[in-house]
Amino acid sequence: MLLLNQHLKHNDTSDELIELIDSLMLSCKEIAIKLREGALAGVLGTSEGVNVQGETQKKLDIISNDILKAVLLDNPTVAGVASEEEDHPVPGNPDGKYLVTFDPLDGSSNIDVNVSVGTIFSILECPEGANGGDDSAYMQSGRKQVAAGYVLYGPCAVLVLTTGQGVNMFTLSHGGDFILTEENVQIPELTQEFGINMSNQRFWEPEMQSYVNDLLQGEEGPLGKRYNMRWVASMVAEVHRILTRGGIFMYPWDKRNPSKPGKLRLMYEGNPMSFLIEQAGGLSTTCYDNIMDIQPEKIHQRVAVGLGSKAEVETMLKYHAKD
């Protein structure tokens, strides 16, 4: 039985990074407790607030954000944090080594119906002399991530983590420890399962429409096999399914609002999930560029996402290839 800290030490993770991951997990355990209590703790439902993206905030979005902020900003390694629920980054220790971006409770529209949600995080180094309260400090491509992961709050709470040396899964025990349960996770190259919100079909680019039409044609179509479809509407649950049994997940560009290329956010959804997927042997793309190669311009920047099993993502990319 290997505890998270022991695993990180075995892999020569620096003491500072271990300390930071410890704080992140302390926050996630608190969030897990709040989620478990649900209606008993009066935490379900919608708050009065709207976040910077104009989305209604759930009470638990705010509670989770407050927990993460308080614990992380108390950690001397943290120079600043940027969250989905904060308009601007919040500075921490001016001498701190790391910046943390996070989506405190991804999939929160699912809370009231008791479906899996998760906390997604990405860790970057704070550039020399930069201020963790300035957007500019965070404008680093996904390739610069030091570590990334998520905690999925499902029937059990699972941490999925990469520090750039593969992907490992840790299950939260009754005693409050994250214990290594899956080592060096690898995504199967091929799949017969896809996830996309089909209700947006008419807004997609013709290339994506054509790819999904072919998926739906199954064994009679050009792809020659029957596909199944899953859509949880919590990205953490979709990525977890893909890491566990393969598949392709897409939240593509759509024309509903040209200023929002896709629904998902680059800094705390696209980049950390792409880091995990690539480390597990998969691919993650906007359909045109590798997500982790994008040079960010805004903290809350949106990005089109297509990720999962390598061969399947490559097939999707062929539909988008410009001659």
- Interface contacts to ligand AFP, rule CB under 6 A: 55, 106-109, 197, 233-235, 251, 263-264
8 Å CB contact between 275 and 142: yes
Kindly state the smallest distance separating residue 32's Cβ from ligand AFP, in Å.
17
CA angle 160, 242, 123 (to 5 degrees): 35
* CA dist., res. 153 & res. 150, Å (int): 10
CB 245 within 8 A of CB 230: no
Are 158 and 169 spatial neighbours (Cβ–Cβ below 8 Å)? yes
Q: From the DSSP assignment, how many helices (H) and strands (E) are in the chain? A: 7, 17
Nearer to ligand AFP among residue 7 and residue 265 (C-beta):
265
Nearer to ligand AFP, 71 or 111 (CB): 111
Q: Toward ligand AFP, which CB reaches closer, 52 or 74?
A: 52
The tokens of 308 are what? Answer: 């999962």
Shortest distance (Å) from residue 287 CB to ligand AFP: 16
Q: How far is the CB of 199 from ligand AFP (least distance, A)?
A: 8
Closest distance between ligand AFP and the C-beta of residue 82, in Å?
Answer: 16
- CA angle 304/308/309 to nearest 5° reads 145
Q: Nearer to ligand AFP by C-beta: 13 or 110?
A: 110
- Would you say 109 or 315 has its CB closer to ligand AFP? 109
CB of residue 300 to ligand AFP, shortest distance in Å: 12
**Between 92 and 107, CB nearer to ligand AFP:** 107
Residue 262 CA to residue 251 CA, distance in Å, equals 6
**What distances in angstroms separate CA 206 from CA 45, 108, 201, one per listed residue?**
38, 31, 10
Task: State the nearest-atom distance from the C-beta of 183 to ligand AFP, in Å.
Answer: 26
What is the SS3 assignment for 139? coil
